[in-house]
Amino acid sequence: TRRTSSTPPGPKPLPIIGNLHQIDPSSPHHSLWQLSKHYGPIMSLHLGYIPTLVVSSSKMAKEVLQTHDLKFASRPSFLGLRKLSYNCLDLAFAPYSPYWKEMKKLCVLHLFSSQRVQSFRPIRENEVVQLIQKLSQFDAHEKGVNLSETMMSFTNTLICKIALGKKYVFDYEEEVELGSEQRSSKLQILLNEAEALLTEFYFSDHFPLLGWVDKVKGTIWRLDKTFKELDLIYQRVIDDHMDNLARPKSKEQVADIIDILLQMMNDQSLHSLSFELTFDHIKALLMNIFLAGTDTSSAIVVWAMTALMNNPRVMNKVQMEIRNLYEDKDFLNEDDIEKLLYLKSVVKETMRLFPPSPLLVPRETMENCNIDGYEIKPKTLVYVNAWAIGRDPEDWEDPEEFYPERFVTSSVDFKGKNFELIPFGSGRRMCPAMNMGVLTVELSLANLLHSFDWKLPNGFDKEQVLDTQVKPGITMHKKIDLYLVPKKRKS
Ligand code: HEM
Indicate if ligand 1 lies below 6 Å from the C-beta of 301. no
Closest CA to 198 of 287, 286, 89: 287
Mean pLDDT of the chain: 91
8-state DSSP, 398: S
| 170: confidence class by pLDDT, cuts 50, 70, 90 | low
Indicate if ligand 1 lies below 6 Å from the C-beta of 360. yes
ipTM of the complex in this document: 0.98
Instruction: Determine the Cα–Cα distance for residues 147 and 154; give it in Å rounded to an integer.
Output: 10
Q: How far is CA 272 from CA 101, 107, 276, 277, in A?
A: 12, 12, 10, 11
pLDDT for res 157:
92
Q: Is the pLDDT at 17 greater than 70, yes or no?
A: yes
Query: What is the phi/psi pair of residue 444, to 5°?
Result: -70, -45
pLDDT digits (tens, 9 = 90+) for 268-321: 887 788 889 999 999 999 999 999 988 999 999 999 999 999 999 999 999 999
Strands 381-384, 50-55: pairing kind: parallel
Strands 42-47, 381-384: pairing kind: unpaired
Q: Is the pLDDT at 5 greater than 80, yes or no?
A: no
Q: How many whole angstroms from 75 Cα to the centroid of ligand 1?
A: 14
Closest CA to 448 of 36, 69, 132, 82: 132
CB atoms inside a 10 Å sphere around CB 341: 12
Q: Kindly state the percentage of the chain with pLDDT values over 90.
A: 75
Burial of 17 (0-12, 13-18, 19+ CB in 10 A): middle
Query: What is the phi/psi pair of residue 431, to 5°?
Result: -55, 120
Mention every residue, 6+ apart, whose C-beta is less than 8 A from residue 117: 435, 436, 439
Instruction: Determine the Cα–Cα distance for residues 352 and 400; give it in Å rounded to an integer.
Output: 10
Q: How many whole angstroms from 108 Cα to the centroid of ligand 1?
A: 12
Query: What is the phi/psi pair of residue 222, to 5°?
Result: -60, -40
Rounded average pLDDT over 29-43: 97
pLDDT for res 303:
97
Determine the residue of 155, 424, 436, 476 to mutate for testing ligand 1's pocket, defined as the one with the most ligand atoms within 8 A of the Cβ atom: 424
Instruction: Determine the Cα–Cα distance for residues 290 and 200; give it in Å rounded to an integer.
Output: 18
pLDDT for res 262:
93
Instruction: Determine the Cα–Cα distance for residues 442 and 301; give it in Å rounded to an integer.
Output: 8
Beta bridge partners of 61: none
Helix (H) or strand (E) holding 115: helix 114-119
Q: What is the pTM of this model?
A: 0.94
Check: CATH 1.10.630.10 for 2-488?
yes
Determine the residue of 258, 431, 444 to mutate for testing ligand 1's pocket, defined as the one with the most ligand atoms within 8 A of the Cβ atom: 431
Mention every residue, 6+ apart, whose C-beta is less than 8 A from residue 71: 365, 366, 367, 369
Helix (H) or strand (E) holding 455: strand 452-455
Beta bridge partners of 376: 369
For ligand 1, atom 38, the nearest C-alpha belongs to 92
